[in-house]
């Protein structure tokens, strides 16, 4: 692993986490994992507060508009971004910091393309019905900003700067929460909440620029730009299917169900996803530090430790989330009482999903491009199951399909991960 100045960091023992759960989750990763965990806790806490408070102000339909715009923007950003942060982080680790700035420029160009296409299309939308010109333009702007934010923050995390990643994540979460709540309570409309979200994303990206410039100054080697993009593209094909599973449910639900159902589902989903804090932390740790394990045996052992720690934490957390959805959420949001069933249906899939996320990060960290591609194609195919389930049963169908799909994906990732690369000593790209 490389530090911010580009030097190779020596292996030094980190203090052991003090609680059994954190000891299991850390598994020798120590302070870096705690930084990642802190960033995820703050982000999810802010997101949960924004979800609950905006739902109480906007109601099911207004919340549905907000969720549909955000969900669609994130899906567009993920599809177009080509995961250039993976190529930049890998190139930096290989000694070419200049790739960080080069891939940043390419990301900015792709984001500009989203705006050039999305804004004119949005202007052709009719007003009314919850989704009109303003919401369409905001969707395009949010997609472009999400691409920039993902590149800047995930590149920083990918080179091992977990503390800086935590700082940026906290800035984004707290600023988005403050601006979003102010807009919701002032106007009772989802539009100012979306604007606040966009401002937070832009500020976070700008705050990351000094660190990216410092990383760009490190150059001990030159990696061809085509190779950097190819590395990112291979990882993108692997993760795109995963992102379709995570993000496609709300846009598909919005296409076939009333906005009020989208609003109910958009509250149930983030509540169920409170368990994701453990999966995301373990996944980021696997990607951020997995390349330090230079033998198949060391990689397999690290994966087992991280997975075991994740399950120790996620299963009890999932049970607590279901209990909270049944007994607490109806007291806080009476208009959203139907979400209790959705949460109970979503949580099993959310827990199982972590197994797939950790495994996929392990494949990416090892540059196992063919294996990642198999997972990506399989995950994309699995996401098709959302369509018949949502058409048949609306939000309940989406929740059932989500858990079934994640279980199937976890099996797929486990099978692919168990197969060694063609040459066990090298990546299979």
Which H or E element spans position 199?
Answer: helix 190-216
Q: E-strand spans in 276-422? A: none
Whole-angstrom Cα distance, residue 405 to residue 387?
12
Q: Is 157 helix (H, G, I), strand (E, B) or coil?
A: helix
Which pLDDT belongs to residue 91?
86
Query: How is the chain split into domains, by residue range?
Result: 20-418
Separation in Å, CA 114 to CA 107, 143, 296? 11, 7, 40
Which pLDDT belongs to residue 107?
94
Q: Is 28 helix (H, G, I), strand (E, B) or coil?
A: coil
Whole-angstrom Cα distance, residue 263 to residue 63?
5
Which pLDDT belongs to residue 11?
38
Q: Is 96 helix (H, G, I), strand (E, B) or coil?
A: strand
Q: Is 78 helix (H, G, I), strand (E, B) or coil?
A: helix
- The reported pTM is 0.76
* Residue 8, φ and ψ in degrees, nearest 5: -80, 125
Which pLDDT belongs to residue 24?
40
Burial class (CB in 10 A: 0-12, 13-18, 19+), 242: buried
b/e burial code for range 299-321 (CB count within 10 A of at least 16 → b): beebbebbbebbbbbbeebbeeb
- C-alpha angle 266-269-274 in degrees, rounded to nearest 5: 130
- C-alpha angle 391-348-50 in degrees, rounded to nearest 5: 80
Whole-angstrom Cα distance, residue 308 to residue 200?
35
Total residues belonging to the chain: 429
Consecutive sets of 10 residues in the chain, 429 residues long: mean pLDDT of each?
Answer: 38 39 42 63 79 90 93 91 86 85 93 95 79 90 96 89 86 91 93 95 95 86 79 74 82 91 92 77 57 60 76 88 89 88 94 83 70 81 93 95 92 83 50
CA trace torsion 109, 167, 89, 210 (10° rounding): 60
Asked whether 168 and 40 are in contact (CB, 8 A), the reply is no
Asked whether 97 and 217 are in contact (CB, 8 A), the reply is yes
Using only the alpha carbons of the chain, give its radius of gyration.
21
Separation in Å, CA 286 to CA 3, 261, 289? 17, 36, 6
Which H or E element spans position 411?
Answer: helix 386-418
With CA atoms as reference, report the closest residue to 240 among 379, 358, 66: 379
User: Where would I find the H helices in 217-275?
Assistant: 225-247, 249-256, 259-272
2 beta partners: 8
Whole-angstrom Cα distance, residue 317 to residue 279?
12
Which pLDDT belongs to residue 48?
82
How many helices (H) and strands (E) in the chain?
Answer: 16, 0
Asked whether 68 and 129 are in contact (CB, 8 A), the reply is no
Whole-angstrom Cα distance, residue 203 to residue 175?
9
Which pLDDT belongs to residue 169?
87
With CA atoms as reference, report the closest residue to 364 among 231, 256, 274: 231
Which pLDDT belongs to residue 294?
55
Which pLDDT belongs to residue 225?
78
């Amino acid at each position: 692993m490389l530090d911010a100045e580009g030097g190779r960091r020596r292996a030094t023992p980190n203090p052991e986490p003090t609680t059994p759960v954190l000891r299991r989750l850390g598994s020798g990763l120590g302070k870096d994992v705690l930084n990642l965990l802190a960033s995820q806790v703050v982000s999810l806490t802010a997101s949960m507060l924004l979800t609950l408070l905006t739902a109480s102000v906007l109601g099911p339909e207004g919340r549905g508009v907000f969720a549909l715009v955000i969900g669609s923007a994130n899906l567009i950003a993920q599809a177009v971004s080509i995961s250039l942060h993976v190529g930049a982080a890998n190139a930096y680790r290989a000694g070419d910091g200049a790739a960080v700035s080069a891939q940043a420029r390419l990301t900015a160009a792709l984001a500009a393309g989203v705006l050039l296409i999305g804004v004119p299309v949005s202007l052709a939308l009719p007003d009314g019905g919850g989704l009109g010109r303003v919401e369409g333009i905001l969707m395009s702007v949010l997609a472009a900003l999400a691409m920039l934010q993902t590149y800047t923050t995930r590149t920083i995390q990918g080179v091992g700067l977990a503390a800086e990643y935590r700082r940026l994540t906290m800035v984004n979460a707290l600023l988005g929460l403050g601006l979003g709540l102010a807009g919701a309570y002032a106007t009772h409309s989802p539009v100012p909440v979306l604007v606040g979200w966009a401002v937070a994303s832009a500020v976070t990206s700008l705050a990351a620029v000094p660190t990216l410039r410092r990383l760009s100054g490190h150059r001990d080697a030159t990696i061809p730009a085509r190779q950097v993009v190819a590395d990112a593209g291979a990882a993108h094909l692997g993760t795109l299917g995963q992102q379709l599973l995570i993000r496609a449910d709300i846009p598909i639900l919005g296409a076939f169900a009333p906005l009020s159902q989208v609003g109910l589902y958009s509250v149930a989903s983030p509540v169920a996803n409170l368990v994701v804090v453990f999966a995301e932390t373990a996944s980021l740790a696997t990607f951020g530090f997995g390349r330090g394990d230079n033998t198949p045996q060391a990689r397999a052992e690290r994966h087992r430790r991280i997975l075991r720690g994740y399950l120790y934490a996620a299963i009890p957390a999932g049970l607590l989330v279901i209990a909270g959805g049944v007994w607490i959420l109806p007291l806080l949001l009476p208009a959203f009482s139907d979400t209790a069933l959705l949460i109970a249906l979503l949580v099993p899939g959310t827990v199982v999903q972590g197994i797939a996320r950790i495994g996929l990060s392990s494949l990416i960290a090892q540059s196992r491009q063919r294996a990642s591609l198999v997972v990506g194609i399989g995950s994309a195919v699995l996401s098709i199951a959302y369509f018949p389930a949502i058409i048949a049963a609306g939000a309940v169908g989406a929740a059932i399909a989500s858990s079934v799909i994640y279980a199937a994906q976890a099996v797929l990732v486990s099978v692919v991960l168990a197969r060694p690369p063609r040459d066990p000593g090298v990546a299979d790209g």
